[in-house]
Chain A
Amino acid sequence: MPVSPLVEITFALSALVILLASLAVVLIKNPVRATLMLILSFLPTSLIYILLQASFVGILQILVYAGAIMMLFTFVIMMINPSPNEGDAPAGGSESAFTGLRGGLVGFLIIGLAGTMVIPMIYHAAASLPVQAVTKPHFGELSSIAALLFEDPANNPLTVSFELISFLILVGIIAALNFSRRKGGQTVDEDSISTRPTEALPIVKRQSGIEAMERK
């Protein structure tokens, strides 16, 4: 496929930014900065989606992912103020904690193996595959996706999963409601939020994430 140099350069630069920003997410100690880095990595991802003729997906990436989900993360991080030096070796607690994840050496071994073996394997396999040009008119545009989703709902294979996801979201709502219940089984009223000092969040003792950032 002949591709214009502009596309090539945009792809290469976006890929570079995504990789660097994602590495920053897992390496930076300050949680607020890590979240901002993840948002930074979403912007060039959306650019790549637009290069892949997935314009609606690119818009969703910004609107829903960077806008809504990351907003949730930022909010919670700001709310509970985890200490910015979480990378330090933890004091106390059993080492076997979260063993499935924290197999330590084994986990890194698996990652190293996958990195050195699977990626080149798949790279070569993908290079040998035949490439087809996009044939559908208006590929990836909103009207086209809407037709795919909502045409002939009784015989559309996508209907069931689309309806089921609404139940998934309901479960999320019920879970969040349940987790906010107080002892009596009541949900939190507006009046009762600050009346019980023992259950209020101990924000005062800790430094806020912004202060910590400034101190660095």
Chain B
Amino acid sequence: MIPHVFNLQNCLALSLLLVLIGSFGVFRRHSLIMILLSVEVMLNGVNLSLVAFNYFRWGTSETSHYLYMLSIGVAAVEAAVGLSMIIVLFKNFNDITRERISRLGERSA
């Protein structure tokens, strides 16, 4: 007998785990591109929770499918702006490691 796993709580747990994994990556990674990539992992989890809520609870209209579309549109713009900024940074610093590009901050007098 196969246990019943395809339900709302498992989908939510999966999506929250993805968000956690992604935020772990945001804190841990040093390369700016990898931080953006970790944010994409988080966003993937959020999208999953949106669609799961719609299917299991509010199946009268596909509202969250539309929210999903908005979210990937925003993700595309954020990726485009972020990546073009990273290219500019690379031109200026020849590096994209976050500790090594850092010039701002408290000045030790």
Could you tell me which A residues sit within 8 Å of B by CB distance? 3, 5, 7-9, 11-12, 15, 18-19, 22-23, 25-26, 31, 34-35, 38, 41-42, 45, 48-49, 51-54, 56-57, 60-61, 64-65, 68-69, 72-73, 76-77, 79-80, 82, 86-87, 90-99, 101-104, 107-108, 111, 114-115, 118-119, 122-124, 126-127, 129-136, 139-140, 144-145, 148-149, 158, 161, 165, 168-169, 171-172, 175-176, 179-180, 199, 201-202
Contact = CB atoms under 8 A, between A and B. Distances in A.
A122 B17 CA distance: 12
Identify whether the interface residues of B are mostly helix, strand, loop, or mixed.
Answer: helix
A64 B74 CA distance: 12
A158 B66 contact: yes
Contacts of A99: 105
Nearest to A114: B20
Contacts of A68: 76
A126 B12 contact: yes
B87 to A, nearest CB: 7
B77 to A, nearest CB: 4
| Count class of interface residues, chain B | 35 or more
Given A41-B41, A94-B105, A111-B23, A118 B33 contact: no
3 smallest beta-carbon distances between A and B, as pairs: A26-B25, A134-B59, A97-B102
